[in-house]
Structure 1
Amino acid sequence: MWRSRARALLLLRSSIPRSPPPHPPPHPTPTLTRAPPPRFLSRFLSSSPDPIPDATSSSADPFADAASSSPLDDATEAGEDSLSSMWEETGDADDIFASPGGADAVADDEEVARVRAVVEATPEDKIASTLADMVVDFNEPLLAAVLLAAEQCSCKKLISLFNYAAKNNPASKSLSNLEILVSKVADSDEIDKMDAYLLWDSVKEIGSVPGSVSTPLLNEMIAIFWKLEKSKAALEVFAKFDEFGCTPDSNSYYLVIEAARKKSMFRSACEVCEKMIGSGCFPNGEKVGRIVTFLCDGKKVKVAHSLYLAAKEKTTQIPKSALDFLVSALARNDETIGTALELLEEYQGESLKHAGKSFATVVHALCRTNKVEDANNLLTRMVQLEEYQGESLKNADKTFTTVIHGLCRKKKLQDAKTLLMRMVDLGPAPGKAVFNFVITALSKQGDMEDAKGLMRLMESEGVSPDIYTYSVLMSGYAKGGMIDEAHALLCEAKKIHPKLNRVCYHILIRGYCKMEEFEKAIECVKEMRKDGLLPNVDEYDKLIQSLCLKAMDWRRAEKLLEEMEDSGLCLKGITRSLIAAVKELEAEAMQSKASQEA
């Protein structure tokens, strides 16, 4: 009361017009000055006091005579008399200078310090009883001031303080105080799941009254549960928005999806994402990109694609890395390869210069699904990108190889040869694999001249043909009846590769047997042994069957059987029986001939 009266007196005195006194007093009159009090917690205090009534509005000016002719003492006395009359007219000074919120709108600093000290010093489980012993009347500003000032309090203490104050004075559990509490808890590094659930219980209790909670407050609760990796609790908070009369914003959707990400709850994340798409409220492009990447990780590519298109309509541009990830995920699914191909058109300007990885991914996917013509066309576009100019073109060699392999599988040999020659002329330099794909396809088709020509081109490019290359060509010659050419390739291969595999000899043995040149077939078996390779059951079996069925030569067949047994090999029972059957047939034929001659 006294502070208000003093303040009124000072303001009134400062407004009195004064003339300089004719004779200065022997001692200067002391003037009362008082600095304005510090405005702690200005967020919760009134912005300005009520205006002071205009003293000059009265019908008679109480200071007219004092300004013109009265001494200073008379003027002061007159001013004080006027002040007394103002008390009577306007009421108590506390009412005059009260803030718009009333007397309770300002928290007493001493009371704030006292309550804060007690709360900080009291154990968590005794907060309520200690505050009850203090007999504190918690109004809204007092609780706000204590919550903000309590820097050394645990989350549990702050929540207990808020719950006690709300029970002591329901008016103190305002939205602003609840926001302070939630913000303090969210910023704490010592929060545990019990504190979070206790706080959420308080929010739910207050939220039962419409308008008691806000969207930012619920976002803070979602962030708390995200921080604690309590995804289900975060989803529960999100589900309460409608019940509490709040509308989710872009942060709400992003935070709850990130919380679901902690536990890989892809289905729940998709449901939230669909609601976000329906609302048309999206976070920034960076955050949308994170959501797209997360959904792709969970193989929810269709939802991720829908989110991308919806965000694009709102001019929200996701990072190029997220778009690359989306294209790659769509390309891995056979059903969405077409969508991935369409998304390549999204690369424009600067992003198109470095879109090679995405183009290559779609090319491989098209080849996997036998859409090699589309893959070939896309490859032509890909090599025109700035990323693949100059020396960087060598990075596309795998993509070229994949397309050529696909063309060979589809028997598009002319296209395959054209693309291979493009590699030879312009790059990237072809390796053994891509040459072997085309040589194999040509050999299977019987085009041995082109196949052998490619092997010579292969050598001229500095790529040495491997054993597989020779075996493929030998097989093509053998199937075409050109067994001598096949044998010539074997001799050539032995000069380059000192130790061949048994496939090369197997091809020749079968070829000679097919041509019924059994002596040369047996010579191949001997040559095979000489080169350090032991014939296996398959070579012996094929040769013995051919001798028995085509030459009816059971003697050489028996000799080969003995050779097998000496090597520790066991002939198949059906082939062994075949030798015996041919032998019996020959004996029966000789006996029949002898009978006829007799």
Structure 2
Amino acid sequence: MFQGESLVGFLKWAVNDKNRQVFSVTNKCLEALVKAVSGELKKKGAAYKLWDLVKEIGEKGDGVVTTKMLNGIISLFSRLGKGMAGYEVFSKFEDLSCVTNADTYYYTIEALCRWSIYDHVGLVCERMLSEGKLPIGGKVGIIIGFLCKGGMEKEAHSVYLSAKEKKIYPRQAAVNFLITSLCDRKKNDVDDVRLALKMLDDFTDGEKRKCAIKQYTCVIQGLCRTNDIDRAKSLLAKMIDAGPPPGNTVYNTIINGLCKLGDMVEAITIMRMMEDRGLKPDVFAYTVIMSGYAKGGEMEEAAKILAEAKKNHCKLTPMTYHTMIRGYCKLERFGKAVKLLEEME
């Protein structure tokens, strides 16, 4: 059996101007060659020689080179870890009289993102969306995942919207990953978080919504980190009404956001709402509220919360005591601070 590299050498000899009258290269012949070389992943040299041969044949304008062949070469370079070589093939489609299709964009984005070459991905995505050539649902989900991993959440969201418009539905795991990526705590991008919030409207199926507690929680956290407490409270109300049922983490996040803004009345209201729904406030919730009161110099109110925390929890954290001690020291009520320090020890 001939090796792919040897076959490439033979065809290169066959297409030489001196031999063209005797030998002719057909679509089937070239497709078979691409398939043969694609099976030899350890031989990068053969892949480059194949690409040089295909370019040479394609530039003659005989119509032998096809979109399917070029897609196969892009995929080959992707698997070989040569993302920029794959991008070169993509950029040559027009020169070789070939038309891109959905697989072309999928393989090109895969080739670039798979090896963390994100400089050209935005342009490829823009062309894919403008031409409306999205791959099938599973591959759309993979593209969304690649883009999110590369920090290109907005581009991933554009792909999601375009797919939704065309009734192409990526896997739920990809949608969930996009929502959590848009709420990335390292970026705290207000616009990204609101895009994620809007995406939650697509959870119309009760069962899907029930399983999406992580995504709802991420959006709540993103809204609170960007000081959009009103939208966080509105989302909490929707969760209570239609699901998924909010847990301690959701309530704690909103309570923390309210305390940072100094809205202690509303923070207490949310904690009582939490209790009414059968959830027990944890030590973190009590500590956050104490901290909010302490920052405002309201140590009597903070002391009441401390007493409630002791009643409901047999053991408090050092942070709980530190919060109260700092509050008393700030008001120069050192006796109270020393008493708590002794209690803590």
TM over 0.5: yes
Give the distance between the partners of 2:221 and 2:328, measured in 1 at CA. 33
Within-5 A mapping of 1:79-94: none
Kindly state the Cα deviation for residue 383 of structure 1 after the two structures are TM-superposed.
4.6
SS class of match (1:267) = coil
Residue 173 of structure 1, CA deviation: 1.2
2:25, 2:64 within 8 Å by CA — same for their partners in 1? no
| Counterpart position of 2:179 | 327
Which residue of the partner structure matches residue 294 of structure 1?
Answer: 146
Distance 1:424 1:460, change over 3 A: farther
**How many residues end up aligned between the 2 structures?**
336
Amino acid across the alignment from 1:175: N
1:348 matched to 2:204? The reply is yes
Residues 1:215 and 1:364: Cα distance change in structure 2 (over 3 Å): same
Opposite residue 155 of structure 1, the aligned amino acid is: G
Distance 2:2 2:271 in 1: 74
Q: Secondary structure at the match of 1:464?
A: coil
Match of 1:154 in 2: 3
Q: Distance in 1 between matches of 2:133 and 2:277?
A: 49
- Identify which of 375, 378, 400 aligns with 2:235: 378
Which gives a bigger RCO, structure 1 or 2 (Cα 8 Å, sep 6+)? Answer: 2
Unpaired runs of at least 5, structure 2: none
Correspondence 1:420 to 2:268: no
**Counterparts of 1:415 and 1:216 in 2: how far apart (Å)?**
61
- Structure 2 Cα separation of the partners of residues 229 and 318 of structure 1: 26
Task: Report if aligned partners of 2:34, 2:73 keep a CA contact under 8 Å in 1.
Answer: yes
Aligned-partner residue type, residue 125 of structure 2 = C
**1:49-72 alpha-carbon deviations (Å, 9 max, x no partner):** xxxxxxxxxxxxxxxxxxxxxxxx
Q: CA deviation at 1:475?
A: 6.0
Q: Partner of 2:116 in structure 1?
A: 264
| TM-score normalised by structure 2 residue count | 0.87
Partner of 2:293: 442
Sequence identity (%): 33
Q: Offset of 1:276 from its aligned partner? A: 0.8
What is the rounded CA distance, in whole Å, between the counterparts of 2:33 and 2:146 in structure 1? 32
CA distance in 2, matches of 1:263, 1:226: 8
Equivalences for residues 14-413 of structure 1 within 5 A: 152-167=1-16, 168-170=19-21, 171-186=23-38, 188-189=39-40, 192-210=43-61, 211-332=63-184, 333=187, 334=189, 335-349=191-205, 350-384=207-241, 386-388=243-245, 396-413=247-264
Deviation readout 1:192-239 (Å, 9 max, x if unpaired): 121111111211111113322111111111122122111121111111
Give 2:8's aligned amino acid. I
Contact residue 220 and residue 232 of structure 2 kept, 8 A: yes
Task: Check 1:178–1:491 CA distance in 2 against 1; reply closer, same or farther (3 A cut).
Answer: closer
Q: Which ranges of structure 1 fall in alignment gaps of 5 or more residues?
A: 1-151, 500-598
Letter in 2 for 1:433: F
Distance 1:182 1:414, change over 3 A: same
Judging changes above 3 Å, is the alpha-carbon distance between structure 1 residues 449 and 212 closer, same or farther for their aligned structure 2 residues? same
CA contact (8 A) 1:356 1:385 kept: no
Rate the CA distance shift 1:492–1:257 in 2: closer, same or farther, 3 A.
Answer: closer
CA deviations on 1:19-76 (whole Å, 9 max, x unpaired) are xxxxxxxxxxxxxxxxxxxxxxxxxxxxxxxxxxxxxxxxxxxxxxxxxxxxxxxxxx
Q: Which has the larger radius of gyration?
A: 1
In structure 2, what is the equivalent of residue 433 of structure 1?
284
Offset, 1:410: 0.9
Q: 1:176 to 1:450 in 2, by over 3 A?
A: same
Provide closer, same or farther for how the CA distance between residues 440 and 222 of structure 1 changes in structure 2, counting only shifts above 3 A: closer
CA separation of 1:250/1:476 partners in 2, compared to 1, >3 Å: closer, same or farther? closer
**Alpha-carbon distance in structure 1 between the residues aligned to 2:24 and 2:297:** 93
Contact 2:328 2:336 in 1 (8 A): no
> Residue 286 of structure 1 contacts residue 318 of structure 1 at CA under 8 Å; is this kept in 2?
yes
